[in-house]
Structure 1
Amino acid sequence: MPRIDLDAYVAAHAGSWVRLEELLRMRRRTGAEADELVDRYQQVATHLSVVRTSAPDGELVAHLSSLLGRARIAMLAVRVPSWRGVGHFFTEQFPAALYRLRWWWLGCVAGNVLVTGLMMWWLSAHPRVEQSLLSPAEIDQLVNNDFASYYSENAAGAFATHVWINNAWVSALCIALGILGLPILWLLFQNIANLAIIGSIMMRHDRGDLFWGLILPHGLLELTCVFVAGGVGLRLFWSWVEPGELTRAASIARAGRTAVTVALGLAVCLLISGIIEAFVTPSPLPTWARIGIGVVAELVFLAYVFVVGRAAASRGATGDISAALLEDRVATQA
């Protein structure tokens, strides 16, 4: 881009900078003023990019960068409590992120289900392994008391909170450790190994109906969420292994922002599975009804991804945070 006359450029655009300053000084803004703040932010971001490229002036660059930094904070403060923003997150950003990353987490689901099935089959054929893990008294206690009582020994509300926090933590770890790759596989393996060991013990002692009747109502959605987190974490790992056309830093940053979107959305999904685990799993409903509720919850999640998410992705949603809150990297034109 050819150099510009800096004085003329400042004279032409200083009014936008002054107006942005005025908007930032306001303690309260109307809806129109909030929209104007976003528009002015985008204008000034373009101006800064032009100045950096065509007429670098340290003092002016510092002033505009500071102005934009304050504007980003102001826009975030406005958007956080906005119900419209929450609605946009759950109808556009989150489902689009799930849909765009679907092959990563669907692969994670398939791989974990396959490994769990193989482990349960192998453990069932090798009862001595069971004996090396638990004593006969511990197995008897698990089969005849502990497994069923786990879901009903605490108050439902407290239990729902407990399982929600625990599962959200596991999912967050899967995403947070994504950059390292291998720790995710170990975390997922620990999760399914526990399921496979307990399942094989229960089925070998003719309590398979109890096991599946208590696992499936909440486990379908819960484990899907954990595997989604694992798949997204692996995608984060791959973002620096194979950054594509982006630099590694830019690739990791983009994948990381999308991972945060997924983590926030999964917290809500896991809250739903926690409520099912606390109120439906131990309820006196017939087994078919409890499992049916779990199946419906899983189908709703999949419909959310492949109907709502697909539509959001087709409209251009990516799961990344709003462009208005990114750094000053907009298209430049004098």
Structure 2
Amino acid sequence: MNVKRWIARREPNWKRLDELLTRIEKRGLRSLSTEEIKALASLYRSISADLARARTHQTLVGHTIVQDLQRLTSRGYSQVYQGSRKQEWKSAIDFYKWGLPEVIQQTIAYTAIATGLFLLGGLIAWWFSWRDPQFLALVVPDHLIRTVRDEGKLWMGSILGSEPTAASQIMTNNLGVTFKAVAGGMTIGVFTMFILFMNGLLIGGVGTLVAQNNLAFPFWAFVFPHGSLELPAIFFSGSAGLLIARGILLPGQYRRIDAIKVYGLKAAQLMFGVIPLLIVAGVIEGFFSPSPIVPDPLKYLVGIGLFIALVRYCSRRRSTQSA
């Protein structure tokens, strides 16, 4: 190994990397152009290889060169990897701050259809349950009917004493429902619509059951706090499933494979919003909603407040300054 020739050939790259890193350390990553950022990554990999070679031939290269390269690669690692992680966090924050509300607004028609299917199921259950008591047995589980009709009480008390377990099970169950609704898009939306309709049918049947037995007020007091987030999350997941179905059935100006990618991306973005909603809703349903300590009127107020906050969040628009 001709050390002098090797150093003379590689030294310009070392100086170039040092120059780029100094600029970043003084003025931030935005001070570099796109080409300079690409060059930074390439130089970092190249000089990491130089360091490995210098260590192998340390007796020839000298301890000073090895130390200089070690410092250079350490600075490069900090900017290339830690800087990219900071950028990823910034991108995630920007998405939840502005991107998600934009996607929700762009796909509002699909969310409205999903909501309509759910409400249709609820109205049908309400209509037939009042006219035919036997209809309830078709849509509401027997143990709920026995608890409400025969024992004259609600079933939420079973959560008390096992709140962490209950919250975990609730989250898992809700996530299962929403992911099925999204996956249902692959059945050209048929399964998605079925899930939305059946969930509406169940809620409508249960709502009618508690109303018939004078338990509507405490029941809806239980539902409002977590339902204000949980139900919109289900509607968003239904919207995601319908978007996938749209890509399959009605590609429009796109090729079908491209339409699936475009609408599938929007569906995935919606699901990034659904998951946090369900986690928060599961905690509320496990700990707050069934609590006998919290007065029912306060539960209604919390539910209404959370829903208003969600609507305001979904209505956010990126300002000129933010863009």
TM normalised by structure 1 equals 0.66
1:112 counterpart = 2:107: no
| CA contact 1:38–1:75 (8 Å) conserved in 2 | no
Distance 1:272 1:300, change over 3 A: same
Return closer, same or farther for 1:77/1:187 CA change in 2, 3 Å cut-off: farther
Give the counterpart of 1:187 among 186, 191, 195.
195
Q: Could you tell me which residue of structure 1 aligns to residue 127 of structure 2?
A: 121
In 2, distance between residues paired with 1:166 and 1:292? 26
1:174 maps to which of 178, 181, 205: 181
Verify: 1:139 aligned to 2:134, yes or no: no
Q: 1:202 to 1:256 in 2, by over 3 A?
A: same
Q: CA deviation at 1:183?
A: 0.7
1:217-253 deviation digits (Å, cap 9, x = unpaired): 2112211110111022112211232222221111110
Residue 274 (structure 2) aligns with: 266
Equivalent residues in 2 for 1:194-233 (5 A)? Answer: 194-233=202-241
The farther-off stretch of 215-224 and 111-120 is 111-120
TM-fit CA distance, 1:182:
0.2
Matched with 2:307 is 298
Tell me by how many angstroms 1:303 deviates. Answer: 0.8
Once the two structures are TM-superposed, the CA of residue 258 in structure 1 deviates from its matched residue by 1.6
CA deviation after TM superposition for structure 1 residue 302, in Å: 0.9
How far did residue 115 of structure 1 move?
A: 2.9
Cross-structure match for 2:243 = 235
Deviations 1:269-289 (A, max 9, x none): 112212221222112222111
- Residue 78 of structure 1 corresponds to 84
Distance in 1, matches of 2:196 and 2:215, equals: 25
2:284 to 260, 273, 276: 276
- Tell me if 1:287 matches 2:293: no
The C-alpha deviation readout for 1:97-149, integer Å capped at 9, x for no partner, is: 11111121023213322430231121122112235677988633245455232
Which residue of 2 is the match for residue 50 of structure 1?
A: none
Question: AA paired with 1:170?
Answer: V
Q: Secondary structure at the match of 1:246?
A: coil
The answer to which structure, 1 or 2, has the higher relative contact order (CA under 8 A, 6+ apart) is 1
CA distance in 2, matches of 1:289, 1:207: 17
Q: Decide whether aligned partners of structure 1 residues 188 and 75 sit closer, same or farther in structure 2, where only a CA change above 3 A counts.
A: farther
Question: How far off its partner does 1:151 sit?
Answer: 3.9
- 1:165 paired to 2:172: yes
Q: Which amino acid aligns with 2:97?
A: T
On the 8 A contact 1:217/1:290 being kept in 2, the answer is yes
CA distance in 2, matches of 1:197, 1:212: 13
Distance 1:199 1:131 in 2: 13
Distance in 2 separating the partners of 1:161 and 1:137: 22
Cα distance in 2 for partners of 1:164, 1:92 equals: 26
Tell me which structure has the larger Cα radius of gyration. Answer: 2
Normalising by structure 2, we get a TM-score of: 0.68
Alpha carbons 1:168, 1:270 under 8 Å: kept: yes
> For structure 1, which segment, 187-196 or 133-142, has the greater mean C-alpha deviation from structure 2 after superposition?
133-142
Counterpart CA distance in 2 for 1:31 and 1:85 is 22
Change (3 A) 1:37 1:253: farther
> 2:62 — aligned with what?
none
State how far apart, in whole Å, the 1-side matches of 2:302 and 2:97 are: 23
CA distance in 1, matches of 2:26, 2:85: 11
Stretch moving more, 251-260 or 113-122: 113-122
Q: Find the aligned partners of 1:134 and 1:191 in 2 and give their Cα distance.
A: 11
| Contact kept in structure 2, 1:178 and 1:233, CA below 8 Å | yes
Unaligned runs of 5+ in 2: 1-12, 40-79
In the alignment, the residues of structure 2 paired with residue 150 and residue 115 of structure 1 have an alpha-carbon distance, to the nearest angstrom, of 27
Query: Hey, what's the Cα distance between the residues in 1 that align with 2:271 and 2:299?
Result: 27
Note if contact 2:139-2:205 (Cα within 8 Å) is conserved in structure 1.
no
Q: 3-state SS of the aligned residue for 1:311? A: coil
TM-aligned CA deviation for residue 38 of structure 1: 8.5
Fraction of identical pairs, as percent: 20
Residue matched to 1:89:
95
The answer on whether the counterparts of 1:225 and 1:270 sit within 8 Å (CA) in structure 2 is: yes
